[in-house]
Amino acid sequence: MGSEATPKPAVPYKLVDIGANLAHPSYHKDLPEVLARAKEAGLIKIMITGCDLKSSKEAEKLSSEHSGFLYFTAGVHPHEAKHFTDETSAVLRTLLENPQCVAVGECGLDFNRNFSPREDQLSAFEKQVALACELQKPLFIHEREASVEMVEILEKYADQLPRAVIHCFTGTADEAKKTSTWDYTSD
């Protein structure tokens, strides 16, 4: 008798990973294997998170190599906000015009770790929210210990906001309810 491998049954569901950090150098050596395991586990789409210009460009490159399976976001994470310039906005706009780019972000505010000064975070976040509204690209938002300020910025654009995902949310239940009543969360 041969030692034939038993085929694995097909998974009964379809999954989408909206926050994969596949542009990180730790995935460079075994990315094909990582993607094969993801497909085997039932993933039908993966969105690679852009956290700065470098990772956003790398995510764009990977998504072009695996079109139809990999997509990407383009943005500047609050930890990197101190590096946000007018040139950053221009490069983000170009990346966001790519049809494989599905969201602005990861952007937001993180007043817990403060790797970038608060004023830089507030400025970078608001510029990215404005860009998302202009292009009507969804937002991928990071918020940590800055929910009041996040809500204040989003309220300025409430009538223009595209869809959004807020992760790492540390606000109150009332603040969460406030964001869930805006039109950007429904059809």
170 within domain boundaries? yes
Q: Which of 81, 78, 66, 132 is nearest to 102 (CA)?
A: 132
89 within domain boundaries? yes
48 within domain boundaries? yes
Give me the number of domains the chain comprises: 1
CATH of the domain at 20: 3.20.20.140
Domain of residue 71 covers 15-181
186 within domain boundaries? no
In tens digits, the chain (187 residues) has pLDDT values of: 555 666 666 778 899 999 999 998 898 899 999 999 999 999 999 999 999 999 999 999 999 999 999 999 999 999 999 999 999 999 999 999 999 999 999 999 999 999 999 999 999 999 999 999 999 999 999 999 999 999 999 999 999 999 999 988 888 888 787 776 665 544 4
60 within domain boundaries? yes
47 within domain boundaries? yes
pTM: 0.88
2 within domain boundaries? no
4 within domain boundaries? no
